[in-house]
Amino acid sequence: MTSPFSSKNLRRFSKSITCKCLVLVGIALFFRALFLSYSHSNALNPSSLFRARYMSDSSSTAGVRTDKFLEVPQIVWGLNNQKIAFARACLTARTMNRTLLMPSLSASLFYKEVDKLRPIPFDKVFQFERFNSLCRGFVRLARFSDVRNRTQSFDLEKGSGRRWTVKRDMEQLKQFAANEFEVVRVVGKNPFLWHDHWPVKDYAKVFECMVVVDEISREADKVVTRIRQAGGNRIMTGLVPFVAVHMRIEIDWMIHCKKLEQRLKVSEICSSKREIMERVGNISGLKTPIVLYLAVADSLLEEKDEESSVLNGWRDGLIPFEKKKLGVKEEVYGKYSYLIQSAIDYEVCLRADVFVGNSFSTFSSLIVLERTQKMRRLGFTSACEDARGKKKKEKLQLKIQRASISESINRDRGEVIQVEETGTKNSSSRVYFG
């Protein structure tokens, strides 16, 4: 009988151990490569690893859970501050792998008298179903009627003060991401004041999904038609172009920007009416005569006499119109709250051939962002033209009527920096910060 410790059996045993070790090493190397690949793809998003732990739940739509919800406080302030706050609430829900319950926006504009903020449902301004369709797999909205148990929710209080750092805020989101309550309700300050953890491209994605309701779009069409008709009486060649100028000279802004200048110890934030007129008049390549639409909150203006009117003082060839002169102040804007008026103005500025904005205004900044995103979707990522670029423009001539150039004015050096360009061969549209 052969001994189990014979040299022959020992060789067989050692070969068996070697094979098993090689197999185990191979499996370990495979999972290491898989893990490194996953880690690399998520390196730019520190919250994605812990989010993935909760993405396999069966109650989800394209990766977004539909049985767990996040509720946020009423969103306040101006239109575009509210859009930023809404996007931040969406991204918070995404980080916690929850569906955001449709928040209330604010129809009125009060900064400190919170009791006077009249709520307005999100779907009275933006299309609810369209939002979920465009943002499918990224973020999701739900109605309160989708919640099964409305009597129980978990209150999550946002921290505040200097000690409440960005790191602590993210740790809180991670801690409560797996909360078993159907609804986590954030209590405390407006989402606009929450800590920011996300890149601009994530905000841009949410903004792209926010399409205004048809009623607002139709009202913007009326205003744009009236602007072009007003210019048609003076400009008799082809499609009447127009420039939209965001004149941020209202009382609320001037108070805010003066305080900002004092805090930052600079003097280049507040632009007077005269300075705006000079910058618009100095736009290179602007063919005159041309119509100017002055996007300004008339109710917040402080005009003591006719001479102080925003219509006076423009150089020859620039034909200014504001809501009252166009005949749309009461017919269109007068029917709506401050928030809807701002939404109409936003859409009008989006459709302008040239847009002149204020570089410290969220209204101007989001218009430039959206116009730039549209250019990128059309395939234009550079301001440089070559033969291929010209051919591409000609192919797109049936697709778009106007061009778009994003430019910004460096206030400190007084230089105009061209950022993006796209459009047709015979027309031009520009965006200026000034």
* 364 backbone dihedrals φ, ψ, rounded to 5°: -65, -45
* pLDDT on residue 348: 97
* pLDDT on residue 39: 41
The size of the chain, in residues, is: 434
Residue type, 30: F
- Of 21-35, 225-239, 304-318, 415-429, highest mean pLDDT: 304-318
Cα atoms found within 13 Å of the Cα of residue 284, Cβ hemisphere only: 8
Cα atoms found within 13 Å of the Cα of residue 201, Cβ hemisphere only: 4
Question: What are the tens digits of pLDDT across the range 352-364?
Answer: 999 999 877 889 9
- pTM (two decimals): 0.73
Specify whether the CB–CB gap between 170 and 197 falls below 8 A: yes
Specify whether the CB–CB gap between 102 and 82 falls below 8 A: no
Which of 9-18, 57-66, 176-185, 295-304 is least confident?
9-18
**pLDDT level of residue 297 (50, 70, 90 thresholds):** confident
Give, to the nearest 10 degrees, the angle between helix 362-377 and helix 200-209. Answer: 80
Of residues 69 and 116, which shows the higher confidence score? 69
pLDDT above 90 (res 266):
no
* pLDDT on residue 101: 98
* pLDDT on residue 425: 29
Sign of CA dihedral 407, 410, 411, 415: negative
When computed from its CA atoms, the radius of gyration of the chain, rounded to whole angstroms, is 28
pLDDT above 90 (res 206):
yes
* pLDDT on residue 410: 30
Please give the Cα distance from 296 to 342 (Å, whole number).
9
pLDDT above 90 (res 397):
no
Taking residues 332-348, report their average pLDDT. Answer: 95
| Strand blocks (E) in 42-180 | 60-61, 64-65, 69-71, 99-101, 104-106, 119-121, 141-142, 154-157
Q: What is the rounded average pLDDT for all residues in the chain? A: 76
**pLDDT level of residue 8 (50, 70, 90 thresholds):** low
**pLDDT level of residue 378 (50, 70, 90 thresholds):** confident
Question: What are the tens digits of pLDDT across the range 33-61?
Answer: 544 444 444 444 444 434 444 444 446 56
Give, to the nearest 10 degrees, the angle between helix 79-95 and helix 362-377. Answer: 60
Nearest one of 299, 364, 342, 290 to 321, comparing CA atoms: 290
Specify whether the CB–CB gap between 374 and 402 falls below 8 A: no
Q: Strand 404-410 to strand 430-433: parallel, antiparallel, or no bridges (unpaired)?
A: parallel
pLDDT above 50 (res 141):
yes
For residue 70, what are the β-bridge partners? Answer: 100, 184
Question: What are the tens digits of pLDDT across the range 70-119?
Answer: 999 999 988 999 999 999 999 999 999 999 999 999 998 765 556 668 89
